[in-house]
Amino acid sequence: MNYQAKSDRYQQLPYRRCGNSGLLLPAISLGLWHNFGGVDVYETYRDVLRVAFDRGVTHFDLANNYGPPPGSAEENFGRILKQDFAAYRDELIISTKAGYRMWDGPYGEWGSKKYLVSSLDQSLRRMGLDYVDIFYSHRPDPDTPLEETMGALDLIVRQGKALYAGISNYTAEQTTRAVAILKRLGTPCLIHQPKYSMLERWVEGGLMDVLGQEGIGCIPFSPLAQGLLTDKYLKGIPADSRAAKPHGFLQASAITEGVISKLQQLNAIAEKRNQSLAQMALAWLLKDPRVTSVLIGASRTTQLLDSLACLNNLAFSAEELADIERILGQ
């Protein structure tokens, strides 16, 4: 059956300005790292994407290597774009990245101009697109001059293959340098994509300040710590969870007694707020205005809907925040 997007989709969630730019992003964005690859079920992820768009999620995040196998998430997304979203291309913000290993030989990873330009051309072919909205350098390259990597982003934007440039996994100091180079070239850095959640707070040690000062948006990835910050691991490891899957990035060894004790205490606060733990973890990130959007994953539609409902309660009392700090500090 032909897909027709819901007419009330823009009354569902807030859109927040990405730094000082002209671009608004939905408070919740959806990433296709896991759950959209060749090993996953087409009907399931197609439904997740349709429901997301029906709920106002306009931003979908990919990378060259998402799958498994690498590239398959872009191929699958391209197929659904063609089938369901062709009429809505101008309503979508589609991002992709290059930085991690994608093909054999010296030009298949890191940050050379050769790799970034070739990789984006491949991504565009896989998704059947003329351009992406945001193209990221996925990780800093210690051996390539930053001028070359940023020069490649500038080139790609000038060629019209991406509308905006972003960086991911760059430290505060690397970000300061990258931003200055991009500014000089005339292609401002739009956005930074760091790992950030209640359980992973390295960005608070300087990066968030740089982003705030420079007017760059922040889109935290793995805001639920890959599912840890939900109620799913409170009583063991479910068979259909990321931690139980052979290709999942979440290691069962990360789910220690200490972590579970923290999750249980956080869950108790979430219950008092009439929220799920996932909802509280997302709201906790969105309280910072420098966070433009949180970039969630979802293996099924019910998870997406649960996460989206965080928007019903974004406020925290001083007491709740202090209790959360105490638990996270244990």
Ligand X SMILES: NC(=O)c1ccc[n+]([C@@H]2O[C@H](COP(=O)([O-])OP(=O)(O)OC[C@H]3O[C@@H](n4cnc5c(N)ncnc54)[C@H](OP(=O)(O)O)[C@@H]3O)[C@@H](O)[C@H]2O)c1
Q: Which residues bind ligand X (CB under 6 A)?
A: 31-35, 61, 138, 168-169, 193, 221-227, 230, 232, 241-242, 278, 295-299, 303, 306-307
Instruction: Annotate the chain with three-state secondary structure.
Output: CCCCCCCCHHHCCCEEECCCCCCEEECEEEECCCCCCCCCCHHHHHHHHHHHHHCCCCEEECCCCCCCCCCHHHHHHHHHHHHHHHHHHHHCEEEEEECCCCCCCCCCCCCCHHHHHHHHHHHHHHHCCCCEEEEEECCCCCCCCHHHHHHHHHHHHHCCCEEEEEEECCCHHHHHHHHHHHHHHCCCEEEEECECECCECHHHHCHHHHHHHHCCEECCECCCHHHCCCCCCCCCCCCCCHHHCCCCCCCHHHCCHHHHHHHHHHHHHHHHCCCCHHHHHHHHHHCCCCECCEEECCCCHHHHHHHHHHHHCCCCCHHHHHHHHHHHCC
- How many whole angstroms separate alpha carbon 80 and alpha carbon 3? 10
Task: Kindly state the smallest distance separating residue 234's Cβ from ligand X, in Å.
Answer: 11
Whose CA is closest to 33, among 80, 76, 65? 65
Task: Kindly state the smallest distance separating residue 70's Cβ from ligand X, in Å.
Answer: 14
Task: Kindly state the smallest distance separating residue 291's Cβ from ligand X, in Å.
Answer: 14
Task: Kindly state the smallest distance separating residue 237's Cβ from ligand X, in Å.
Answer: 9
Comparison of 144 and 230: residue with beta carbon closer to ligand X: 230
Comparison of 74 and 184: residue with beta carbon closer to ligand X: 74
Task: Kindly state the smallest distance separating residue 299's Cβ from ligand X, in Å.
Answer: 4
Task: Kindly state the smallest distance separating residue 222's Cβ from ligand X, in Å.
Answer: 4
Using the structure block, give the residue that is written with the tokens 């973890």.
281
Comparison of 211 and 295: residue with beta carbon closer to ligand X: 295
Comparison of 64 and 226: residue with beta carbon closer to ligand X: 226
Task: Kindly state the smallest distance separating residue 57's Cβ from ligand X, in Å.
Answer: 12
Comparison of 43 and 319: residue with beta carbon closer to ligand X: 43
In angstroms, what CA-CA distances link 239 with 227, 244, 253, 257?
14, 6, 15, 19
Comparison of 64 and 187: residue with beta carbon closer to ligand X: 64
Comparison of 4 and 42: residue with beta carbon closer to ligand X: 42
Whose CA is closest to 109, among 155, 63, 166? 63
Comparison of 164 and 221: residue with beta carbon closer to ligand X: 221
Task: Kindly state the smallest distance separating residue 224's Cβ from ligand X, in Å.
Answer: 3
